[in-house]
Structure 1
Amino acid sequence: MGRAVADIARAFGMKTLVHSRTPVADAGNVSLNELLANSDVVSLHCPLTPETKHLINAKTLALMKPAALLLNTSRGPLVDEIALASALNNGTIAGAALDVLSVEPPPAENPLLHARNCIITPHNAWGTRAARSRLLQIAVDNVKSFLADSPKNVVN
């Protein structure tokens, strides 16, 4: 996913920086701090692990440019939501677009629901026309195989 986003960004003439535990060839690999300090747009594409939980927090948000945008279509808990809401409300960064949150649906007291310059979508960024078409085809194939007494993906 991250590579696809980088390819699209480059097609728009954007310079891309990458921070990854496993270096990506020809990708401009840099430290996380360098990436945050030098990026106009930070897009998260990593798994949730104990090491990546709250990867974006008050300390890392403070490294970002005041005009920077944060995008998260990966995993909600990568971002400390209280710290992000504070950073948005006090102008530490310019904006955030989030397709994932730590709790979905978000409770009414989630501070991001009222934060300045924060766009939240209902965890549907994956849903391109091609992805939805593939999902429907998989469902049809599963029903056909079940009716033919040869079910796929049997769990028990």
Structure 2
Amino acid sequence: MEQNAADRTADWKVPYHPSGEKEVHLEDYSSQIGNADAALGIWVHKGVINEKLFEAHPNLKYIATLGHGFEDFDVEMTRRRGVTITNTIYGDVTIAQYAMALLMNICHNVTVQSDYTKTGYWKEKETNPQASYNQLFVPQIELYQKTMGIIGLGAIGLWTARMAKGFGMKVIANSRHKKAGPQYDGIEQVSMEEIFERSDVISIHCPHTKETENLLNREAFAKMKDGVIIINTARGIIIDEEALLEALESRKVYMAGLDVVANEPPQYQIPLMQSPYTFITSHIAWQPKAARLRAVDLAVKNFRSYLEGMPTSVIN
């Protein structure tokens, strides 16, 4: 990763601060930023891009982040100060793939099937077929002709739609703005109400904003089909977790596959973590090396565009 970054910035005579294996966070590099005009290739924790940062680094006019999200800083404040912030949509295909992996595990219970086989139930079938069959039988779901409802039809949502169509699913989607172009062929763009009412699977790929916070609440779950599956690889706070737990326990929601939760890391004891109707992973959908290398490439590309006076991927 670091050699990749160094190679792509070799023609710039700028200080380079390798981080080893750890994530590079803005607050860790205050002394290195000093009087720099730009900071490139960093992750941003919530609340770190604030007035205090720019008081400490008054020359700083550009920050190239390595993340997707833009809810972690005061957009208006950075605009007032004339600071440009760019993000990197590096994980579009990998996060879509992870969303489908969560869905596959729900549909086929692969981990349970593997555990049963490894602990000898398959072998037992030879001597006691009926008992073994009952133990091996785990409900499975076929996705063909089911309806996938996608909330947020950006880069990740679009890749999720493509993958869902590959399984023969019907795809409907809702986005803040209607999308146009051949890449959206075969995706029916509908209201949020229709997403809730028509979907067999709902996959969340929208950013966290005031409008999307607790978007999936009790009212939303009440409108959904019985047995709907919920997938979330976006932001945990988009789902009202108490309402989700109620919907899971009533079986309104069949299962939820979550790579994100509202408070990270979560307390192990919280009911959502203990529910037999959830698969929860530790916000790792972004992790494949290919995606992280792509993040570096995009951050460098964004900075080059900024230097040329044509900034791209600006989020403020």
TM over 0.5: yes
One-letter amino acid of the counterpart of residue 74, structure 1:
A
Partner of 2:119: none
Partner of 1:65: 225
Partner of 1:9: 164
Moved more, 23-32 or 43-52: 23-32
Whether contact under 8 Å (1:99, 1:121) holds in the other structure is yes
Partner of 2:259: 99
Q: Which runs of no fewer than 5 residues in structure 2 stay unpaired?
A: 1-155, 301-316
Whether contact under 8 Å (2:268, 2:274) holds in the other structure is no
> What is the alpha-carbon distance in structure 1 between the residues aligned to residue 289 and residue 168 of structure 2?
26
Partner of 2:71: none
Larger Rg: 2
> What is the alpha-carbon distance in structure 2 between the residues aligned to residue 109 and residue 61 of structure 1?
24
How many residues of Structure 1 are paired with residues of Structure 2 in the alignment? 138
**Equivalent residue runs for 1:15-34 within 5 Å:** 15-25=170-180, 26=185, 27-34=187-194
Q: Normalising to structure 2: TM-score of the pair?
A: 0.41
> What is the alpha-carbon distance in structure 1 between the residues aligned to residue 251 and residue 196 of structure 2?
16
**Structure of higher RCO (CA pairs closer than 8 Å, 6+ residues apart):** 2
One-letter amino acid of the counterpart of residue 60, structure 1:
A
TM-fit CA distance, 1:133: 4.1
Partner of 1:54: 214
- Offset from partner CA, 1:91-138 (integer Å, 9 cap, x none): 111010000111011024432112231000110012234114446x66
> Percent of counterpart pairs with the same letter?
41
1:40 corresponds to which of 200, 221, 229: 200
> What is the alpha-carbon distance in structure 1 between the residues aligned to residue 251 and residue 259 of structure 2?
21
Runs of 4+ displaced beyond 6 Å: none
- Offset from partner CA, 1:14-53 (integer Å, 9 cap, x none): 1100111101234311111111111111000101111100
Tell me the secondary structure at the aligned position of residue 52 of structure 1: coil
> What is the alpha-carbon distance in structure 2 between the residues aligned to residue 121 and residue 107 of structure 1?
13
Partner of 2:86: none
> What is the alpha-carbon distance in structure 2 between the residues aligned to residue 7 and residue 24 of structure 1?
15
> What is the alpha-carbon distance in structure 1 between the residues aligned to residue 288 and residue 170 of structure 2?
25
Q: Normalising to structure 1: TM-score of the pair?
A: 0.81
Partner of 1:86: 246
Partner of 2:235: 75
Q: Which runs of no fewer than 5 residues in structure 1 stay unpaired?
A: 142-156
One-letter amino acid of the counterpart of residue 214, structure 2:
H
Partner of 2:66: none
